[in-house]
């Protein structure tokens, strides 16, 4: 501005440029843009950091170290008093780990008199061998006395060492596997008798205090039941409520209250639904604790607002001309809605439902309150049996101290994320494939 008070000669010669601070302003522009790029970079960085942390910790959980043993099913150890014909409990309570230890001692040449050596040897394989051999023998008692070639799970620490997750360079007193065990491990590995095999146990075992024999089966079944309950209840109820609000209801005080309620319920913290479930379903209606039925009901109430909002949007997207045409050729209002509007809105409703289900599948907090944090070892048969859910199982494993559980937790998270990815991708494909622009 100061340049304007100037001598006329200079003006006529060459108009002075007004200083409008372009340089500074362009710098500010560039900075502003940079902030945006940095912000997006931070978001994407954390996305990848999170996924990397989960996958790098978890991909090994899908393989478990096992050792191949030729186990002599010695009748003297299984049934020392020779009573198995009369007492079926003998086969259930026999000392199966001893059989595995003897087989391993023979293989590695540890003498039966070397007690400390035998004790360390016993830690090489998992105590899960008890159940494994029991099933084998009880299923076919004729095997007693024969020698069977069996793949047996190793202990969790050996598994970690085999996968290279334990730093073997530190002194052996400061790590969980001794030098001797490492030596045996390498020997067995060299012979091909110890190897990593696909971890079917992760999907077939229930809860266990030992990492190597704990799995997701109870959680998967529980989550499946809950998803079925949520689907069967929240889809019809949500669609019915949306149809009423969108197609029938005149604007009245009642519909106003319902709408405000639905919007509020969508924003209520999920843990509050857990409190509701605890107070109403368990304390008042005396439904069983830890049951997937209660979990399903709580998640239904939580998912309803999502489904209602999506369904209403889908119904609103159907153009009024369709309704007018249907009414014009003599359809009743109900026929118009159910024969014409609803089928056209179905893809949108389905997409919203799948997204709501995916949300419900990942929900943890309300399930903690209705007692789904339970140690459930046996697979639930009906929705009334105690069960856990996939995210709750992750929470329970995350609270375990052992290193091997971190691996399992990450593995479980990978399973959960895969389910969610499949559901969301299905929703996107449905939307792309069937969405109509009017």
Question: What residues numbered 11-30 form the site for another protein, per CB under 8 A?
Answer: 25-26, 28-29
- Quick one: which of 217, 215, 384 has its CA closest to 297? 384
- Which of 91, 108, 143, 258 binds another protein (CB under 8 A)? It is 258
Q: How far is CA 226 from CA 222, 309, 368, in A?
A: 6, 21, 14
Stretch that binds another protein, among 111-119, 189-197, 299-307, 346-354 (CB under 8 A): 299-307
- Which of 93, 95, 147, 283 binds another protein (CB under 8 A)? It is 283
The minimum distance between CB 47 and another protein, in angstroms, equals 5
H or E segment and range at residue 149: strand 147-153
Name 361's Cβ contacts closer than 8 Å, sequence gap at least 6.
Answer: 223, 227, 390, 391, 416, 419, 420, 423
What is the crossing angle of helices 292-317 and 253-267, to 10°?
120
Name 21's Cβ contacts closer than 8 Å, sequence gap at least 6.
Answer: none
Query: CA-to-CA distance for 16 and 24, rounded, in angstroms?
Result: 19
Stretch that binds another protein, among 104-112, 140-148, 184-192, 270-278 (CB under 8 A): 270-278
Is 272 a binder of another protein (CB under 8 A)?
yes
Is 358 a binder of another protein (CB under 8 A)?
yes
- Which of 67, 99, 276, 354 binds another protein (CB under 8 A)? It is 276
Sign of the torsion formed by the C-alpha atoms of 291, 292, 295 and 297? negative
The minimum distance between CB 129 and another protein, in angstroms, equals 29
Q: In the numeric block, which tokens belong to residue 165?
A: 């997750």
Footprint (CB under 8 A) of another protein, residues 116-135: none
Is 88 a binder of another protein (CB under 8 A)?
no
Nearer to another protein, 67 or 414 (CB): 414
The minimum distance between CB 362 and another protein, in angstroms, equals 3
The minimum distance between CB 213 and another protein, in angstroms, equals 22
Q: In the numeric block, which tokens belong to residue 430?
A: 């449905």
Residue 53: HSE in the Cβ half-sphere, 13 Å Cα cutoff: 8
Strands 194-198 and 63-72, how do they pair? antiparallel
The minimum distance between CB 329 and another protein, in angstroms, equals 15
Nearer to another protein, 221 or 389 (CB): 389
The conformation of residue 379, written as its DSSP 8-state character, comes to: P
- Which of 352, 386, 391, 411 binds another protein (CB under 8 A)? It is 391
Is 82 a binder of another protein (CB under 8 A)?
no
Is 270 a binder of another protein (CB under 8 A)?
yes
Nearer to another protein, 150 or 413 (CB): 413
Is 297 a binder of another protein (CB under 8 A)?
no
Footprint (CB under 8 A) of another protein, residues 146-205: none
Nearer to another protein, 157 or 363 (CB): 363
The conformation of residue 291, written as its DSSP 8-state character, comes to: B
Contact 65, 159 (CB under 8 A): yes
Contact 354, 423 (CB under 8 A): yes
Sign of the torsion formed by the C-alpha atoms of 276, 279, 281 and 284? negative
Is 415 a binder of another protein (CB under 8 A)?
no
Is 317 a binder of another protein (CB under 8 A)?
no
**3-state class (DSSP) for residue 290:** coil
Total binding residues for another protein by CB under 8 A?
Answer: 85
The minimum distance between CB 397 and another protein, in angstroms, equals 9
Footprint (CB under 8 A) of another protein, residues 222-251: 236-238, 240-245, 248-249
Sign of the torsion formed by the C-alpha atoms of 199, 201, 203 and 206? negative
Stretch that binds another protein, among 86-94, 176-184, 317-325, 387-395 (CB under 8 A): 387-395
């Amino acid at each position: 501005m100061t340049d304007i008070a100037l001598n006329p000669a200079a003006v006529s010669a060459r108009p002075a440029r007004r200083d409008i601070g372009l340089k500074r302003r362009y710098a500010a522009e560039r900075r502003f843009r940079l902030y945006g790029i940095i912000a997006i970079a931070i978001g994407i960085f954390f996305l990848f950091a999170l996924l990397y942390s989960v996958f790098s910790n978890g991909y090994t959980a899908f393989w478990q170290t096992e050792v191949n043993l030729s186990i002599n099913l010695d009748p003297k150890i299984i049934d020392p008093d020779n009573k198995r014909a009369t007492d079926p409990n003998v086969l259930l309570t026999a000392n199966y780990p001893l059989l595995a230890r003897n087989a391993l001692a023979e293989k590695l040449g540890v003498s039966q008199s070397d007690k400390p050596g035998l004790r360390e040897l016993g830690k090489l394989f998992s105590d899960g061998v008890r159940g494994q051999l029991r099933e084998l023998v009880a299923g076919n008692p004729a095997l007693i006395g024969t020698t069977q070639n069996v793949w047996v799970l190793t202990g969790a620490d050996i598994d970690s060492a085999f996968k290279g997750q334990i730093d073997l360079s530190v002194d052996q007193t400061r790590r969980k596997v001794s030098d001797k065990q490492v030596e045996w491990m390498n020997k067995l590995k060299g012979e091909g008798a110890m190897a990593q095999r696909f971890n079917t146990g992760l999907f077939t075992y229930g809860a266990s205090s030992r990492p190597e024999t704990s799995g997701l089966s109870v959680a998967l079944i529980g989550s499946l039941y809950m998803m079925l309950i949520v689907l069967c209840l929240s889809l019809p109820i949500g669609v019915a409520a949306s149809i009423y609000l969108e197609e029938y209801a005149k604007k009245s005080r009642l519909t106003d209250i319902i709408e405000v309620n639905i919007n509020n319920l969508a924003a209520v913290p999920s843990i509050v639904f857990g409190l509701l479930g605890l107070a109403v379903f368990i304390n008042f209606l005396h439904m069983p604790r830890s049951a997937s039925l209660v979990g399903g009901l709580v998640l239904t109430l939580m998912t309803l607002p999502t489904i209602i909002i999506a369904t209403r949007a889908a119904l609103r997207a159907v153009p009024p001309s369709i309704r007018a045409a249907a009414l014009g050729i003599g359809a009743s209002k109900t026929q118009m809605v159910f024969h014409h509007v609803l089928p056209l809105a179905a893809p949108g409703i389905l997409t919203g439902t799948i997204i709501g289900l995916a949300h419900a599948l990942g929900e943890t907090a309300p399930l903690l309150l209705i007692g789904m944090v339970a140690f459930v070892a046996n697979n639930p048969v009906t929705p009334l049996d105690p069960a856990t859910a996939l995210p709750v199982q992750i929470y329970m494993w995350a609270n375990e101290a052992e290193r091997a559980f971190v691996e399992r937790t990450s593995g479980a998270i990978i399973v959960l994320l895969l389910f969610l990815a499949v559901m969301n991708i299905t929703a996107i494909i449905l939307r792309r494939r069937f969405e109509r622009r009017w």
